[in-house]
Structure 1
């Protein structure tokens, strides 16, 4: 592998938009560029106006269509194919295609890599099967539609072998498996997700590489001093994320209602913003639950310094950027998804017995009544504070690129 490579990232989220995937992508792109690599990002337009970036190629979105998070939808149309091919021709040699999503732009990345005979690396970190089963209004129809649309562009010739999935889950897994099988290398942020893919027949090399946080940002925030626990005030809980059903912000508000000796600060926006405001008002919780709206990553990390714990109500994250941010800032975590125990350091958090509001409230109440546990949890997290640094993970990503570049080339038939 050459000392410097040109990487084409394909993502269904514009880098200027907010979200965990976007935050992780920006940290990786910046660190790669800081090491002398060249990065070009292919993505949808951002809602509203953004400053033009010469290293970002905007693909054409479908008029009137939006994803569940409100962001534009890109399909692998002929027009986008011509746009991508022209950009490849104009920008010189592209060494690696790295697809970060499995939707329209991610599919376009797979197809572009095939056309130009370039190795492709696929990052997989979406638990679509769980999200669709639990939170789609019409799970079967949603899973079937995704499977048919994805299969039209990236066919999967082999049936998933995992017998533990129900009808909806099998359909939801098909696009993920097909995207992985169409790639040369697969990157996942956690071991548990790697096991899930392998169990369902993915036989491409799977590399476990965590997402990361920009080093300079962490250094700047840590210079402000260490966080403290105020044992005389109400327990200060923080919730951060997209206000959408799978993140469960309404459940977080209900948890706060049941734990009287507790305040809750909610950071983020999304399709449930109106319902979130109404839930706070209906429960007469304006004095204890505060909605801060959209904030950038620096503001979120700074807020973590002034809270006692992170309340993580999501039960379908693969890793969760907010979880990495809490670890980096030494903020104890209350969570409910057993899969996240891989990311929460031992003794750095408390997992509720189950995802129910009642169970989370019981866990939070116990901490509110015994604040002495919090300093010990912070101390446990301190030993892991540098693990989310992006610099620790970029080297591993570059090693995956090197492996993809030096491996024997597969034919298109081998990839499906």
Structure 2
């Protein structure tokens, strides 16, 4: 069976879709599938499957280039699996290819993310309760161009079932959670550092609510914060830290992976993700797997199994964040103990098996 994995980003670029695409390609290739990845960016070398790249420059025109690449490599495919509704979904429609079944994976929400980019502060759930949503008609049209939609969480699936009419067939395939063990796991200490070390890790975008986290740290003089990641808010966040005189208590780092990410987890006391909504936060799963306590927005799509050992709270405002972190610190030994509870592993092999089952069903 020939499968095209259409993604917006791919390693060495860092991000959830990049990691997911490469891991899934590896598993499907191992299972005997003919895999081709189509992505934006520079040429990438790959031994076990093909990677086709399209220039990411010149907005809108790049969609046309991407569509032509899909037509070139995917006209005879059995399935085209898109990892983005807009940057991959629109080129797939433009390509006009008829044979492949079209599958869309949703782990985020384009309309809500653009709303927050322009200053919106509603959670995803509240956003969809609004009487008018700009662009919803377009998204409805686009979703109906697919044969199947894969959601990463029940949370988002239920939201879409409520607010989008006549959805294509759909299902949930949860993300992987590979449980780490042995000498590399974060040391299980019960006493935190002094000052208390907070960690944020992710893209610096509006819905991550990082400015509120910085304002909260300003009110907690015995806390230190590391912000790991890049994005459109980089300059604004750095200027805000300088303006508040927090440059000795808040540091910035580029994105990290592998051993560097492990070391980052090991040198902090708490991962804090105060997003307005975090549908499927892979960083939270990684940190929890390595043994670092996780403090996550209550507006999350992670299932009960996946959020075991995590603390959820409302972190919309700086006041909310300060109050919630104070409560966590008072009960820190219990939080550390909870991180030692074995997690139910969900390997990439299991994720791939779910996909194999789906692809087999829709191509019959």
How high is the TM-score relative to the length of structure 1? 0.76
**How many pairs align?**
355
Whether 2:147 is the aligned partner of 1:184: answer yes
SS of the counterpart of 1:120?
A: strand
Greater fraction helix: 1
Whether 2:287 is the aligned partner of 1:322: answer no
Q: Provide the C-alpha distance between the structure 1 equivalents of 2:306 and 2:98, rounded to a whole number of angstroms.
A: 43
Q: Provide the C-alpha distance between the structure 1 equivalents of 2:114 and 2:188, rounded to a whole number of angstroms.
A: 39
Comparing 171-180 with 314-323, greater Cα deviation is found at 171-180
Q: Provide the C-alpha distance between the structure 1 equivalents of 2:93 and 2:109, rounded to a whole number of angstroms.
A: 20
Give the Å deviation of 1:62.
4.8
Whether the 8 Å contact between 1:12 and 1:74 is mirrored in structure 2 is no
Matching residue of 1:68: none
Whether 2:73 is the aligned partner of 1:87: answer yes
Whether 2:30 is the aligned partner of 1:27: answer no
How well do the aligned residues superpose, as a CA RMSD in angstroms? 2.9
Give the Å deviation of 1:347.
5.5
Indicate which of 368, 389, 392 corresponds to 2:350. 392
Structure 2: segments with no counterpart, 5+ residues:
122-126
Structure 1: segments with no counterpart, 5+ residues:
66-72, 140-161, 407-416
SS of the counterpart of 2:113?
A: helix
Q: Provide the C-alpha distance between the structure 1 equivalents of 2:264 and 2:161, rounded to a whole number of angstroms.
A: 38
Matching residue of 1:228: 188
Give the Å deviation of 1:86.
2.9
Give the Å deviation of 1:182.
1.4
Q: Provide the C-alpha distance between the structure 1 equivalents of 2:184 and 2:237, rounded to a whole number of angstroms.
A: 32
Provide Cα deviations, 1:324-352, integer angstroms capped at 9, x if missing partner: 21232232221224234536756622222
Provide Cα deviations, 1:34-74, integer angstroms capped at 9, x if missing partner: 3232221112224xxx54457122234453x4xxxxxxx65
Q: Provide the C-alpha distance between the structure 2 equivalents of 1:269 and 1:373, rounded to a whole number of angstroms.
A: 33
CA change 1:191–1:364 in 2 (3 A) is same
Give the Å deviation of 1:105.
2.6
Whether the 8 Å contact between 1:327 and 1:344 is mirrored in structure 2 is no
Whether the 8 Å contact between 1:11 and 1:41 is mirrored in structure 2 is yes
Matching residue of 1:377: 338
Whether the 8 Å contact between 2:116 and 2:206 is mirrored in structure 1 is no
Q: Provide the C-alpha distance between the structure 2 equivalents of 1:344 and 1:277, rounded to a whole number of angstroms.
A: 36
Give the Å deviation of 1:275.
2.1
Q: Provide the C-alpha distance between the structure 1 equivalents of 2:355 and 2:145, rounded to a whole number of angstroms.
A: 19
Q: Provide the C-alpha distance between the structure 2 equivalents of 1:373 and 1:187, rounded to a whole number of angstroms.
A: 36
What aligned pairs does 1:100-111 form with structure 2 within 5 A after superposition? 100-111=83-94
